[in-house]
Structure 1
Amino acid sequence: MTYRAYYMFDGYPVAWQEDNYSRWLFTREDRVIRKRTKGERNVLIHDLPENHAEWDEPETDYLYVVTAEELRRRLSLIPCLDPVNSITYLDEDTKYGQDMTSLRSEFDRYRRAMIADKAPTFYASSSDYYGEEAKAARQHVPERADALRGTTLDDWLLALKEIVERGATRAKGFTSPPMPKGPTFDTKALADIILTDQHPCNWNLRPRHDLWGFPCSLLEHLAVAMLEVIPANAECVLDVTELVENDCVYCFEDLVLANEDGSIALA
């Protein structure tokens, strides 16, 4: 069985890692242990107990928490990353700051690469294909290029806001919607594309997040987009509860021990 860490914006999961995690832009000082009931679970990532009698039973969350405003500040301080390999080389010409300017630049790069092929190829569901299996798994999806030809980043941000408000996510028990056919692509059509289980075969377009259909590759760029569609006072959270509870990681051990000693108060 695998266990996940979730990167969430205002309760909405945009990326997850299995059996381990990277702190990304979070720090040890952001760690929080919170108590809640089973009935207060985030249903976008965990089911409620079938037995309603269990809903009042306590559970514990192990989280890294910052405000949307603070995450925006941290994004503004990191070097602009190469969207293909997620690294950059620091020199006197290095530009800093992930913001709407860098997101628009990434959208333009992604769009140019996608529409260069009239029928770009995609894998469905899994990225771990090899040999003949890889050939069989590839699909030509001209609609993905068509959607980018006729839309702007602002159109995609509206669609992103819709799926966040609707709570539609691939994180748990989700069936990817059918690919919209066009020729025009409204907000609902773009939302369906964002939630697709197809990701580009083109390595330069591979998403490093789990909203595979949103037109950017890096989590940093998706984070900028998410900050545009959630409240300024929303929480941005790295939830490592599953990993801590199942002894996959021990990053909260000092806080757990301090709580047992009564030297800290739980949130």
Structure 2
Amino acid sequence: MTNFITLNNGYQIPQLGFGTIQQFDKQIEDNVAFALNHGYQLIDTANRYGNEVEVGKGLKLSGLKREDYFLETKLGPTLYENDQAIDDTLKRLGVDYVDVMILHHPVNNYVYAYKMLEKAYKEGKIKAIGLSNFRVEQIQEILDQCEIPPMIMQVECHPYYPAEHVYDFCKEHHIQLQSWYPLGHGNSDMLQEPVFVELAEKYHKSTVQIILRWHIQMGFGLVPGSKSMDHIKDNANIFDFELTDEEMKQIAAVNKHEPFYHVTEESLHRMATTKCNFE
């Protein structure tokens, strides 16, 4: 079973996706094909991951027709003024369109880049437009200066930090939140929280599956990744149980109001200047 979420343009995408960061070569080809045949219909990648060609090979290896899976990628900041970047991305992936294309970081000329996405959206090369890691005031800048509102905001989000810095704003503007690193970078403290251990025992699931189920019931999109086929399969096995309202309240109590990823001048400079491996 796959849950679908409806974006503000009416387009529907799977709520659960498979993330491919830090996976390369034959491993990612095999994992993409495996994921698409074991509970996932959406694959998430990025220019900066350096694996779009291999992801494209994995899509073909799955044996599925293009209309039977969803594909999401992110434009790298050093390509934000490259008018050929979107077509080159499609070529690397071996597809005629992507379901979601996201601006990866709010650096460099991101307004120009967003207008590039709008053009590709109108041409049918992109079915939905998104942002990643943008602050509220930067999202507002896009809303003020661009024609088509973003449909997805990909952001750090997990029980220790449920996207508090953008959640209300995105809800108000009908922008769908999607969690990267939905397990909090695999943080051991979070995975061992007593509430997750108790719920795992109750539902005969792992603490990882409890946390991923929390995302589903919060209404977030999520793109957990793994290099292990066993874990890939297990991470999709979260649709045969449901947490109660009381249990969701118990999970809310573990919120630490603090992200793992902190934006610094150094990190912004790195994001703005680090080129993709094909540049």
Into which bin does the TM-score normalised by the smaller protein fall?
under 0.3
The two structures have a TM-score, normalised by structure 2, of 0.22
Bigger relative CO (Cα 8 Å, ≥ 6 apart):
1
More helix by percentage: 2
* Higher radius of gyration, 1 or 2: 1
The two structures have a TM-score, normalised by structure 1, of 0.23
